[in-house]
């Protein structure tokens, strides 16, 4: 029997607590015995109790109680007779790995994204220096995507021989079994087109970018509503931003944190993730990826590849055709980009649009009758 102690920096609805809950549910009971500790939160506590786990309250999200919290963590490791300590988040990663080292127990740390860019330069240097010290006493670092592992190795917060990738996943069967949240419960009409996001209100999630984008689109889409599910330190600031942008209160619905057993996704027509950075495999998605998406779809739709390449400012100087073809395709490119805009607008509206491949006003060469 392997005894595992899971330590959480936060126990509010999010990636770390959700992963721990899944671990408790799916680790073979005959092989693993799991204990969980972290800040007290009723929702997670009730979920764990349903799985016959009594979580221990431990304030791992703050350094203010440093000596006392460290001693309590060491005592917890010893009382649980832990064979492995598994930490999630910065605070738990600090206390848990240091306490495990002092208690002579191996520690495993999961990075749910590596977030430090919002710190001051001094704060960034201090954070990275601390993580580089902690990795020396960490048995294994778990990354939730290959792209995150590349970043962790480059920053020196993981070691190649002690780093693994365990990708994030969603238990779709469990999600489908949750009670769907009715739109009426949230004050949304059945006719509304709902753009939504389910995430904690944290600077890295960039709710401000989503609200600013909504403010641009809302006047042209009277049936459009924005649903923001979650809670966190940014919630009041985002509400104030929406008011400053002149968004009517009934156009944005922010019910706060919903129960773990409910499914808010059923209310959403279009899910939007505006995070500055995530640990998921889609993390490296950039503006260049938007160009790639447009190029791929425009080619598949049958638009002229020369028009597409000219729009992307790609120049082929290697072939004789590339050297001699200096056409700008101005009319054609303008038409194609308008058709692309029409396609995207249709997607937003939940509709379909069949593009016209040839502009009706495209000038055609005509033979001189005198020839």
Residue-wise DSSP of 302-318: T--HHHHHHHTT----S
Model confidence at 323: pLDDT above 50: no
Encode pLDDT of 152-169 as tens digits. Answer: 999 999 999 999 999 877
- What is the C-alpha separation between 45 and 57, in angstroms, rounded? 10
Residues of the chain above pLDDT 90, percent: 42
**51 in the same domain as 127:** yes
**344 in the same domain as 254:** no
- 305 half-sphere exposure, CB direction, 13 A CA radius: 6
What are the helix (H) ranges across 40-162? Answer: 42-50, 66-79, 90-103, 121-135, 146-155
**321 in the same domain as 244:** no
Give the total number of structural domains in the chain.
3
> CA-based Rg of the chain, rounded to a whole angstrom?
26
Across 168-177, 238-247, 283-292, 324-333, the highest mean pLDDT is recorded for: 238-247
Encode pLDDT of 221-272 as tens digits. Answer: 999 999 999 888 899 999 999 999 999 999 999 988 887 678 888 889 988 8
- What is the C-alpha separation between 85 and 187, in angstroms, rounded? 44
Give me the numbers of helices (H) and strands (E) for the chain, helices first please: 14, 13
**188 in the same domain as 137:** no
Q: What pTM value is reported for the model? A: 0.68
Please say which residue of 135, 150, 169 terminates a domain: 169
Comparing C-alpha atoms, which of 287, 282, 274, 8 is closest to residue 148? 282
| pLDDT computed for residue 240 by the predictor | 95
Residue 367 within a domain = no
**161 in the same domain as 17:** yes
CATH assignment of the domain containing 212: 3.40.50.2000
Q: 369 in helix, strand or coil?
A: coil
Beta bridge partners of 38: 57
Model confidence at 138: pLDDT above 60: yes
Please say which residue of 130, 149, 169 terminates a domain: 169
| Domain span holding position 291 | 287-348
């Amino acid at each position: 029997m392997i005894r595992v102690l899971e330590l959480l920096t936060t126990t509010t609805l999010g990636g770390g607590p959700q992963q721990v809950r899944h671990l408790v549910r799916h680790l073979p009971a005959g092989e693993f015995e799991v204990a969980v500790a972290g800040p007290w939160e009723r929702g997670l506590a009730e979920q764990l109790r349903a799985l016959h786990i009594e979580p221990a309250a431990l304030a791992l999200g703050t350094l203010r109680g440093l000596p006392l919290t460290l001693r309590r963590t060491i005592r917890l490791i010893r009382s649980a007779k832990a064979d492995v300590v598994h930490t999630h988040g910065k605070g738990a990663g600090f206390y848990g790995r240091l306490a495990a080292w002092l208690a002579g127990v191996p520690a495993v740390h999961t990075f749910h994204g590596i977030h430090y860019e919002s710190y001051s330069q001094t704060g960034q240097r201090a954070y990275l220096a601390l993580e580089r010290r902690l990795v020396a006493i960490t048995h294994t670092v778990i990354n939730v995507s290959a792209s995150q592992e590349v970043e962790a190795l480059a920053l020196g917060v993981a070691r190649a021989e002690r780093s693994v990738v365990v990708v994030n996943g969603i238990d779709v069967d469990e999600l489908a079994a949750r009670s769907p949240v009715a739109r009426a419960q949230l004050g949304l009409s059945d006719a509304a087109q709902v753009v939504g996001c389910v995430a904690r209100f944290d600077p890295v999630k960039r709710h401000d970018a989503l609200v600013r984008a909504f403010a641009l689109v809302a006047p042209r889409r009277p049936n459009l509503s924005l649903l923001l599910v979650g809670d966190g330190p940014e919630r009041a600031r985002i509400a104030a931003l929406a008011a400053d942008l002149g968004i009517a209160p009934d156009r944005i619905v922010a019910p706060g944190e919903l129960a773990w057993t409910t499914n808010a996704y059923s209310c959403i027509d279009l899910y939007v993730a505006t995070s500055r950075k995530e640990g998921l495999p889609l993390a490296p998605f950039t503006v260049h990826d938007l160009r790639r998406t447009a190029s791929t779809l425009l080619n598949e739709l049958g638009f002229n590849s020369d028009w597409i390449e000219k729009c992307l400012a790609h120049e082929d100087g290697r072939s004789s055709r590339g050297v001699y073809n200096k056409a700008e395709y101005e009319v054609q490119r303008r038409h194609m980009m308008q058709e692309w805009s029409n396609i995207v607008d249709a997607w937003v509206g939940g509709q379909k649009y069949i593009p016209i491949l040839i502009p009706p006003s495209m000038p055609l060469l005509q033979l001189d009758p005198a020839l």
